[in-house]
Amino acid sequence: MSSRIESQPSEEQAILSIRDLSVTLQRRGTPTRVLDRVNLRARTGEIVALLGESGSGKSTLGLAILGLLAAESRPQVTGSILIGRQEIVGATTAALRPIRRRVGTVFQDPIGSLNPTMRIGRQLEEIIEDGKSPAWWLAQVGIPDPDTRLRSFPHQLSGGQCQRVMIAMAMARQPALIIADEPTTALDVVVQAQILALLRRLARENGVAMVFVTHDLAVAAALADRVAILHAGRLVEEGPAAQLVAHPAHPYSATLLAARFGLAADCGRQLPAAAPGEGGESTGCRWAPRCTLTQDRCRERVPAAARAAHGGWVACHRGDEMAVATAVTIGAPWPEQRPVVPGHLLELVGISKTFGLPHRAAFAERQVFHALDGVALRIARGEAVAIVGGSGSGKSTLLRIAAGLLAPDKGDIAYAGKDRPQIVFQDAAGSFTPWLTIGEQIGERLRAAGLARAQRSDCVARALERVGLEPRYATAKAANLSGGQCQRAALARAIVVPPNLLLCDEAVSAMDMSLAATILNLIGVLRRELGMALLFVTHDLAAARFLADRIVVMERGRIVETGPAEDIVRNPTHPATQFLLEAMPNRLAVAAE
Amino acid sequence: MILRVLLRTELRTKSGALPLIGLLFITLLAVAGPIFAPANPLLRVDTPYLDPSFQHWLGTDEVGRDLLSRILYGIRLTWFPVLAVIALTSAIGTLVGAVAAAAGGLVELLLNRFCELMMVIPATLIALAAVASLGPGTWHLVAAISVFWWPWYARIAHTEIRRVATRAHVEAARLAGVGRPRLFLRYLLPAALPSLVVAASLDVANVILVLAMFSFLGLGAPAPAPELGAMTAQSLVSLTTHGWIPLSPAIVIFILAFTANLAGDGIRQRMEST
């Protein structure tokens, strides 16, 4: 549909030209249409960002371009993918081989993508065709002291350096096209900005077309010339990066943008994230069930691509109206805080905990790691406290001690509640026993309270509804739920009998932005409705500020700063807090660089 | 648990069901095989070393006994002791390993060291001592083998339960106030079952061989009894001249072990995916 719109390069100029590509994969025994009539082009020296949430089909598109769709998912591919003049769809493995040599790849896990048994230099040598030395390529990707580094094995390099090596390997084969699938997601913020700048420079200098798959709008805006937004297997909008991010023409894109929470988010309301829902098979627009602008025609017909104000195109029946700007305005208000009896709920005094490290040598003194060193913390009933700190600061250890899962070496714990605090873990799927149903596990606390079976299943259904899941999920197992659904179910388990204290251990850290926003909203709503105190452990100051009344900053097992959330963020006094603030993903700034 | 997995999920898929049907068939054969046996397995019925013919489908052995009849009886004499050893030792082992993992501290230490002790004492010595005190016989042999066989299962059960006990999903169950017996039966033990089932299915071949070894030493069923391992061992001398006499029982042993392995693998896959 987009081929009629002229924002894309014409077919002659394009290195990559995808036309009406549909992919159907076998998922859990049923064929699922993962991509639906996708059109995309990329020309020499151009970077196209393919943006989508988890499950949108963006990685499938990357794999389809490489002809690497897993055979066991029995892919059915229709349409056309041209790289240069060569057709990928339906090509034999032998025919694909010369084409693949012209396509470089950079994946999310750089350390796993390199051969661990071979020195970096050897791995580069095997690929380089143009007579340049491996050391020259390492210098190109900004690795200091390249001659020494050639002799390193992958495990001796940092994640960022491994990704640089992967980029060197992708570039060294002189590709016409590079597919980069979330190459910076596993890296920390500072390194991420460097890698993005490097990719951009190399793509320009070498005249390579790049398809950059990501879930992060800011990264896409920082790097790409054009952005294509993928929702539920369909491209909904495409246009020049800067203009599209400034003026999205599709309500879905607008929602994605609004769901990015930063240090300026309004804490007095919920984040403006779209309500969760499942895009079922419908005859119309797949965003329609969750869109605030839905009309009858949205449900009936798939919208055609039309020219958008930002110079690209948009597939929305109402994309030409000013309405999109109002699709997302402000988040819903918080529910009223349930009154609580004043007083302290949890009091930790002088908590210390050390872990023994393995012996380094037979006669060496045994090393210990001071995870916590004299920590004192008080939480009032109904109060929300966030513990913020880098990895190894002891924040998770403190949470486990508060939960009673770990005994401190020294110190006192006084918990005024009669129940046990409940934890929501980072790995939501891993916090459910795979062979038991979700409902049975949510019901465990009711069983402990002595409820009969029928009453239990009633309560479980109500808890599931409360977190926005249909009661039928009670009979499902964790493997059948998505990451976001698992985290909702974990919240349902925690609140099926509302605890006095809810503990969250990096509960949204592994999620993409818009999903994280919906879970943060849910936690905020539940704690107010149920009058629970909240202890929220995170490394993300924006999430901490959004949820908590008070922020506690930890570094190397000690509390270094504490105060009202807003004060900590506005006027940090301790260097550790300042460092955390500087590392905040304010990545839109990268674009200006 | 295992039975439910078998009945509910396994039989639904054809590929998984096939080895299980095989196991069932073998067990049926072990029960009913002797009905089909054309001759008495212990008596001489014809000239020794007869080639397979219509009258004797697998020929006759070095004494002149009908080989097919001996094998049909032999399956019974081999299969049930094997099943008994595996059922007994995996049950005892799981119990010991689970108690060790659940108790922790000194109990765990002592039980683990005791398992290691049982593992390092030469098995033959224990079995010899046991059979010597009990007297020869198949069921005495089962007891004797079981004595040194269980620590391997204890080891597996112990490590698997320890491994899963610190996982987030078990911690979540603890926080939910799940009682100890229930935590153990529903949350911890199922984690060890896949490994135990695979170990047990791979063990079938081992136990058959050990049974054969002890029968060969005269500690199992007394000499003329048609035990498959013993039949192979005793007629090995005629391998070059009348190959089918040692090979026929050996092939049956192979089929038993192979079917058990396939079934174990199938069960493991189903358990891990549910």
- Determine whether the interchain pair B173/A444 forms a contact, defined as Cβ–Cβ distance below 8 Å: yes
Q: Do A526 and A441 lie in a common domain?
A: no
Checking if the pLDDT of A330 tops 80, the result is no
DSSP, collapsed to helix, strand or coil, labels residue A16 as: strand
Is residue A36 helix, strand or coil? strand
Question: B271 — contact with chain A (CB < 8 Å)?
Answer: yes
Instruction: Look at residues A446, A468, A496 and tell me which one is the last residue of a structural domain.
Output: A496
User: Highest-confidence range of A100-114, A215-229, A544-558, B29-43, by mean pLDDT?
Assistant: A544-558
CB A352 within 8 A of CB A388: no
Between A420, A430, A431, which is nearest B177 by CB? A420
Question: Does A431 contact B274 at a Cβ distance shorter than 8 Å?
Answer: no
Query: Are A433 and B170 an interchain contact pair (Cβ–Cβ within 8 Å)?
Result: yes
Taking contacts as CB-CB distances below 8 angstroms, the residues of chain A near B271 are 435
SS (H, E, C) A435-499: CCEHHHHHCHHHHHCCCCHHHHHHHHHHHHHHCCCCHHHHHCEHHHCCHHHHHHHHHHHHHCCCC
> Do the domain assignments include residue A120?
no
Q: Which residue has the higher pLDDT, A283 or A240?
A: A240
Q: Is pLDDT above 90 for B3? A: no
Does the residue A571 lie in any domain? yes
Contacts of A441 in chain B (CB under 8 A): 169, 172-173, 176
B171 touches chain A (CB under 8 A): yes
Among residues A284, A299, A327, the one where a domain terminates is A327
Helix (H) or strand (E) run with residue B13 in it: none
A50, A40 contact by CB (below 8 A): yes
Interchain contact, A405 vs B177, CB within 8 Å: no
Indicate if A257 and A402 belong to the same structural domain: no
Q: CA B219 to CA B230: how far, in whole Å? A: 11
Mean pLDDT, to the nearest integer, of B48-73? 84
Interface touch B173/A441, C-beta < 8 Å: yes
In CATH, the number for domain B2-34+47-273 is 1.10.3720.10
Task: Answer yes or no: is pLDDT of A172 > 90.
Answer: no
CB-based contact, B3 to chain A, within 8 Å: no
Are B80 and B86 in contact by the 8 Å Cβ rule? The answer is no
Which residues fall within 8 angstroms of residue A200, CB to CB, at 6 or more apart?
Answer: A47, A223
- Are A98 and A226 in the same domain? yes
* Whether residue A403 is found in the same domain as residue A508: yes
Residues of A within 8 A of B172 (CB-CB) are 423, 425, 431-432, 441, 490, 493
Is B207 in the A-facing interface, judged by CB distances under 8 Å? no
Mean per-residue pLDDT over chain A, rounded: 84
Q: Distance between CA atoms of B262 and A450, rounded to whole angstroms?
A: 44
Is the CB of residue A405 less than 8 Å away from at least one CB of chain B? yes
- CATH number for position A89: 3.40.50.300
Residue pairs spanning A and B at CB distance below 8 A:
56
Quick check: A490 contacting B, CB < 8 Å? Answer: yes
Could you give the percent of chain A with pLDDT greater than 70?
A: 90
Nearest to A448 among B172, B176, B187 (CB): B176
Q: Above 80 in pLDDT, residue B101?
A: yes
For the segment B18-46, the average pLDDT, to the nearest whole number, is 83
pLDDT of residue A6: 44
Distance CA A535, CA A387 (A): 7
Whether A138 has a pLDDT exceeding 60, the answer reads yes
Distance from CA of A383 to the nearest CA of B (A): 21
Q: Which residues pair with A372 in a beta bridge?
A: A353
A290 in Cβ contact with A259 (< 8 Å):
no
- What number of other Cβ atoms are within 10 A of residue B227's Cβ? 29
A43 alpha-carbon distance from chain centroid: 28
Which band of pLDDT confidence, cut at 50, 70 and 90, is reported for residue A327? low
Residue A66 lies in a domain: yes
How many domains does the structure of chain A reveal? 3
Q: How far apart are CA B174 and CA A405, in angstroms?
A: 9
3-state SS string over A375-424? EEEEEECCCEEEEECCCCCCHHHHHHHHHCCCCCCEEEEEECCCCCCEEE
Task: Give the pLDDT score at A242.
Answer: 86
Could you tell me which chain B residue has the CA closest to the CA of A437? B274
- Touching check for B169 and chain A: CB below 8 Å? yes
pLDDT value for B109: 92
Taking the Cβ of residue A313 and every Cβ of chain B, the question of whether any pair is shorter than 8 Å is answered with: no
Q: Which of A213, A325, A321, A216 is nearest to A272 (CA)?
A: A325
Half-sphere exposure of A394 (CA within 13 A, CB side): 26
Mutating which of B9, B163, B167, B169 best tests the A interface, going by the most A Cβ atoms within 10 A?
Answer: B169
Contact list, A434 vs chain B (CB under 8 Å): 169, 274
CB-based contact A430 B169, cutoff 8 Å: yes
Gyration radius from chain A CA atoms: 26
- Within 13 A of B104's CA, how many CA atoms are on the CB side? 4
Phi and psi at B228, nearest 5°, equal -60, -45
Q: What is the pLDDT of residues B82-100, one digit of tens each?
A: 999 999 999 999 999 999 9
Shortest distance between the Cα of A456 and any Cα of chain B, in A, equals 14
Least confident of A338-342, A451-455, B188-192: A338-342
B167 CB within 8 Å of a chain A CB = yes
Whether A326 has a pLDDT exceeding 70, the answer reads: no
Overall average pLDDT of the A479-503 stretch: 90
CB interface of B with A, residues 175-194, below 8 Å: 175-179, 186-187, 190
Q: Do A432 and B171 touch (CB under 8 A)?
A: no
- What's the 3-state SS for A241-288? HHHHHHCCCCHHHHHHHHCCCCCCCCCCECCCCCCCCCCCCCCCCCCH
Report the SS3 class of residue A83. Answer: strand
For residue B242, give Cα distances in angstroms to A524, B49, B63, B239: 82, 7, 13, 6
CB contact, 8 Å: A357 with chain B?
Answer: no
Exposed, middle or buried by CB within 10 Å (0-12, 13-18, 19+), for A178? buried
DSSP-assigned letters across all residues of A495-537: HSS--SEEEEESTTTTS-HHHHHHHHHHHHHHHHHHT-EEEEE
Q: Which residue has the higher pLDDT, A388 or A588?
A: A388
For residue A441, pLDDT beyond 60: yes
**What is the rounded CA–CA span in Å between residue A88 and residue A105?**
16
| pLDDT of B6 higher than 70 | no
Mean pLDDT computed over A545-564 = 92
Average pLDDT over every residue of B193-197: 88
Cα A557 from Cα A437, distance rounded (Å): 38
Report the mean per-residue pLDDT for chain B: 83
Q: What is the mean pLDDT of residues A416-424?
A: 89
CA atoms of B259 and A87, how far apart (whole Å): 47
Stated pTM of the model: 0.75
Residues A406 and A532 in one domain: yes
Mean pLDDT calculated for residue range A212-239: 88
Average pLDDT for A492-506: 93
> For B172, which of A404, A423, A434 is closest by C-beta distance?
A423
A479 in the same domain as A446: yes
First to last CA, chain B: 12
Do A13 and A95 lie in a common domain? yes
Partners of B190 on chain A (C-beta within 8 Å) are 435
Task: Return the pLDDT at A320.
Answer: 65
Q: How far apart are CA A447 and CA A455, in angstroms?
A: 10
Q: Give the residue carrying structure tokens 């491996």.
A: A134
Specify if A153 maps to a domain: no
Cα–Cα distance between A399 and A264 in angstroms, integer?
27
Report the gap between the CA of B258 and the closest CA in chain A (Å).
27
How many CB atoms are closer than 10 A to CB A135?
Answer: 17
Question: For chain B, what are the domain ranges?
Answer: 2-34+47-273
> Which of A48-62, A292-306, A308-322, A359-373 is predicted most confidently?
A48-62
**pLDDT-above-90 percentage for chain B:** 18
Question: Which of A38, A43, A45 shows the shortest CA–CA distance to A62?
Answer: A38
- Taking residues A460-476, report their average pLDDT: 90
Give the whole-angstrom CA distance, residue B109 versus residue B107: 5
Count the neighbouring beta carbons within 10 Å of the beta carbon of residue A115.
Answer: 12
Same domain, A441 and A395: no
A191 and A288 housed in the same domain? yes
Per the structure, the complete domain to which residue A14 belongs is given by 2-102+175-261+268-327
In a shared domain, residues A402 and A439: no
A385 and A528 belong to one structural domain: yes
Q: How far lies B78's CA from each of A372, B226, B227, in Å?
A: 61, 9, 6
Tokens found for residue A116: 């661990």
pLDDT in tens, B23-32: 888 889 888 8
Q: A556 with A530, same domain? A: yes
A500 CB within 8 Å of a chain B CB:
no
Q: Which are the contacts of A183, defined by CB distance < 8 A and separation ≥ 6?
A: A106, A107, A108, A110, A163, A166, A167, A195, A199, A212
Residue A155 located in a structural domain: no
Confidence (pLDDT) at B103: 84
